[in-house]
Structure 1
């Protein structure tokens, strides 16, 4: 899938007070959700990893047992398991803010490797 024109993506209403457009490709789906003030999404879970970017407003969001009020520019520590060594790590809110806002990293990326394995991977690719 190349460029996406959201105005050409069909809109559905998954819950009262919200509209959803979901452009997708072979390996990626993007959900563009708009919610009216007071709209509520029932607690649910996904079998795969989810990411989100809040463009405006604020929302109360629950992940696991933690609930936060999230506003634009808000980052949460995200636990992950290194794909190479299996070590449990945390991609901190500070690291995310640096990656997205300073380094201008791709908004669809997430932490996958611990520091040691990331360094090894970088060295391997430069050989």
Structure 2
């Protein structure tokens, strides 16, 4: 990281409206910066290069889905310990269970509650909301 007081979040989201919401959330959080990728294929090299503090991952992505991307991130020594959080429109209890069992730290369903997500991001990255 360029600034030691800054946390970086990589958001992997192919929907512009959802990405706009995440941008809004992160802009309201002093000391946080956002990296963006529209596909998992673009996100993996970004994660390797920047080693963000957290990855927000859509599950339903074109070509490679969030589960495949998470498996590749976990298999890479540069990215294996970066916390990843699922954000998905798949909202059944079995979907949530599957996401958590796959290794996501948390699973948020769309539409995301901005206050809950903000509080979670502060908490997981060691700051108070």
Q: Report the TM-score, using the length of structure 2 for normalisation.
A: 0.31
Q: Report the TM-score, using the length of structure 1 for normalisation.
A: 0.31
The structure with the largest alpha-carbon Rg is: 1
